[in-house]
């Protein structure tokens, strides 16, 4: 059992989150992020992703206990004002999440790098379909895919955009990635692949000026890309805290039986 003595509190701007923040601020002493042992996040999945990205950017990785004051809250715990926050965090189960590292090269030769917790998505910018070459570990697997786009999802993100695109749900701890096409036209029968976490995936946009493509890593967008390289980044694992019986892997498991 781990004791988190110094806690930082962050909240989204949503009214429900602000009300909960006022309530929790008065319940105990809080410290700034740079002095904390763990973070309590009030809001929805968007806030959770924001907090995790801030930690990746600062290279100071802390466990995060999310309390749902948003909409879906797939990455969050239930907000229960009647239960001791300290007790819940001490008993919480730790779930490790490996982010994705994305490197994109634009048509003008500029290189952009960023990270994704859920997925990296390539999407057509105009009404014209994208033409993409797909390589895994430097070996071309698809010479040309004509589609609206394609994405690479982590287990944590496999129930988000990936699931909407008919991609597979990946259990936490599986050390796998989902490679999922978005509205593919050619090849018609290709429905994606499940790859090991160690795989490096490279996308090359064919006719990238005539058929412009953008890439989105969670919430960051880079336009007019001609090549994108994606790989998992397990050496910078993030830690989410979940109430017992409400862990992320249990939610992903339950999602597979949802009707």
45 known ligand binder: yes
68 known ligand binder: no
75 known ligand binder: no
**Rg, C-alpha atoms of the chain:** 20
- The rounded distance, in Å, linking the Cα atoms of 114 and 210 is 26
138 known ligand binder: no
Contacts of 183 (CB under 8 A, 6+ apart): 147, 148, 149
Q: Which residues of 144-174 are buried (b: 16+ CB within 10 A; e: fewer)?
A: ebbbebbbbbbbbbbbbbbbebebbbbebeb
| Count of helices and strands (H, E) across the chain | 5, 16
118 known ligand binder: yes
Active-site residue, selected from the candidate residues 37, 45, 138, 249: 45
46 known ligand binder: yes
159 known ligand binder: yes
58's enclosing H/E stretch is: helix 45-58
77 known ligand binder: no
* Beta strand spans in 72-206 (E): 93-97, 100-106, 111-116, 119-124, 130-136, 139-153, 176-186, 193-196, 200-206
Other CB atoms within 10 A of residue 78 CB = 11
Residue 242 CB-density burial (10 A; 0-12 exposed, 13-18 middle, 19+ buried) = buried
| Residue with tokens 């017992």, as numbered in its chain | 244
Instruction: Name which of 155, 47, 42, 140 is nearest 97 in CA terms.
Output: 155
Give yes or no: 37 in active site: no
Instruction: Name which of 152, 105, 133 is nearest 206 in CA terms.
Output: 133
Instruction: Output the known binding site for NAD(+).
Output: 45-46, 118-119, 148, 156, 159-164
- Enumerate the active-site residues: 45
Binding residues: 45-46, 118-119, 148, 156, 159-164
């Amino acid at each position: 059992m781990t004791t988190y003595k110094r806690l930082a509190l962050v909240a989204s701007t949503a009214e429900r989150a602000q009300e909960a923040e006022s309530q929790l601020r008065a319940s105990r002493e809080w410290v700034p992020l740079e002095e904390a042992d763990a973070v309590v996040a009030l809001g929805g999945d968007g806030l959770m992703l924001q907090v995790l990205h801030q930690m990746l950017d600062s290279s100071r990785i802390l466990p995060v206990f999310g309390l749902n004051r948003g909409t879906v809250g797939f990455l969050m715990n239930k907000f229960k004002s009647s239960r001791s926050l300290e007790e819940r965090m001490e008993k919480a189960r730790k779930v490790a999440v490996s982010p994705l590292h994305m490197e994109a090269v634009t048509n003008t030769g500029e290189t952009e790098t960023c990270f994704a917790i859920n997925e990296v998505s390539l999407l057509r910018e105009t009404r014209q379909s994208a033409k993409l070459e797909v390589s895994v570990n430097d070996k071309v697997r698809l010479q040309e895919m004509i589609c609206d786009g394609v994405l690479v999802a982590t287990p944590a993100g496999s129930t988000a955009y990936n699931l909407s695109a008919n991609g597979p749900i990946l259990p936490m701890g599986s050390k796998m990635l989902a490679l999922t096409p978005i509205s593919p036209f050619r090849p018609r029968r290709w429905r994606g692949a499940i790859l090991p976490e160690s795989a490096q995936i490279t996308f090359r946009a064919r006719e990238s000026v005539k058929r412009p493509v953008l890439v989105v890593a969670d919430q960051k967008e880079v336009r007019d890309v001609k090549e994108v390289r994606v790989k998992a980044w397990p050496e910078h694992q993030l830690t989410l805290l979940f109430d017992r019986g409400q862990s992320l892997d249990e939610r992903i498991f339950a999602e597979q039986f949802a009707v």
